Amino acid sequence: MNRRILLLVLALLVLAGCAIQRGRDGHIDRQSRPYKLVGYVTPAKDFPRLDAEKLSAINFAFAHIDVNGNVALKQAEDTELLAQLVALKARNPALKILLSIGGWGLDGFSDAALSEASRARFADSAARVLARHRLDGVDIDWEYPTLPGPGIVHRTEDKRNFTLLLQAVRTRFDALAREQGRAAGDPYLITAALADREFVAGIELDRVGRVLDWINLMTYDFHGSLTATTGHHSALARSATSAPDERSVEAAVKQFLDAGVAARKLVVGVPFYGKGFIGAQPANHGLDQPFTGRVPMYAWSQLAGMIDRNGYVRYWDEQAKEPYLWNAATREFVSYDDPQSLALKAEYVRTNRLGGVMYWEQNNDPDGTLFNALAHTLR
């Protein structure tokens, strides 16, 4: 072979190799995208429009754990909704549909993880649900191991048992993949929604990180009913006026990286909703001030009609890279994300070569304004 042709062939092979991503077990996955865009979807009367071609994964929220420790759908209508999501794979064969199990206030995890028998029961039931509905995996949303939550059973043993539960699910899912004849480079997925700071104390993060395909990092709700002041509930960086130990996306990512979690397994979470704080002190346009009451959630569809209207003035925190609203007449401070702040978060993911971005949740952004800001930056 001519030397020039040989060099050209070798160069093309190298370029092809760079373009191909490899799956969890090292097998080639030609459908992989460099950055994941993962969306949560909850049941709704009018199912949201989903841009399947731009999504990496959809998490359907939520399944629950029944009295026998089995994973189960909450209502009969969920079967049809899951079928609609699976049908989107016709438009995007690389799209993964996962069933999210848990959510705030869901009981049953501590009991399900307690023994080898209970873990096997949980894993077997999860595998049956996957096979029945032709899903690609599960997302575990245990809020939170070892902690009481709103009346849920909790134990100090949850820390070790959480790891053992995930390992049991991994073993069962790998067996299911063989039973189903699933391609070697396309395993059933296991992800988890995890929080930062004190919530990490109840998890063997280094071990959990090795079992999970990726982590949906819940980098939102930093300010709310449990905080003494207003503040950005999903700040990229610490605000100049906030406390030195202020929570932020940057701080959360650092905590997980320092614990040994691979950067490409960290999927940064962003909210498609805002939070209102009523009766805030007027200094600093209400930012980082005491308050007397709350509005737990404003969907983005509501916020879009509030910005710079009816006394709500938009401000931009350059250090935190976050917008906020201040209504001087009503003394209401509103923390939220918009296309500008979301694009900056997506760029942060790219710069630091993280796994991607996750958002909660699709019904709050019916016209796709926030979604498109993420998709455009991550593409």
- C-alpha dihedral sign at 21, 139, 94, 219: negative
- Per the structure, the complete domain to which residue 251 belongs is given by 26-271+339-378
CATH of the domain at 186: 3.20.20.80
Is residue 5 in a domain?
Answer: no
Is residue 17 in a domain?
Answer: no
Q: Which of 307, 309, 333, 336 is nearest to 320 (CA)?
A: 336
> Who's near 200: CB < 8 A, 6+ residues apart?
194, 255, 256, 259
Is residue 286 in a domain?
Answer: no
pLDDT bracket for residue 33 (50, 70, 90): low
* High-pLDDT (> 90) share of the chain, %: 89
> Who's near 313: CB < 8 A, 6+ residues apart?
285, 325, 326, 327, 328
Where in the sequence numbering do the catalytic residues fall?
143
Tell me, yes or no, if the pTM score tops 0.85: yes
Give residue-wise pLDDT tens across range 268-280: 999 999 999 999 9
Q: Residue 366 pLDDT more than 50?
A: yes
Number of domain units in the chain:
1
Is residue 267 in a domain?
Answer: yes
The two structure tokens encoding residue 261 = 């979690």
Is residue 364 in a domain?
Answer: yes
- C-alpha dihedral sign at 206, 212, 213, 214: negative
Beta bridge partners of 326: 313, 333
Is residue 256 in a domain?
Answer: yes
Q: What is the pLDDT of residue 151?
A: 86
Q: Which of 102, 42, 39, 123 is nearest to 77 (CA)?
A: 42
Query: Which of helix, strand or coil describes residue 257?
Result: helix
Beta bridge partners of 354: none
Quick one: how far is CA 22 from the chain centroid? 22
Contact 142, 162 (CB under 8 A): yes
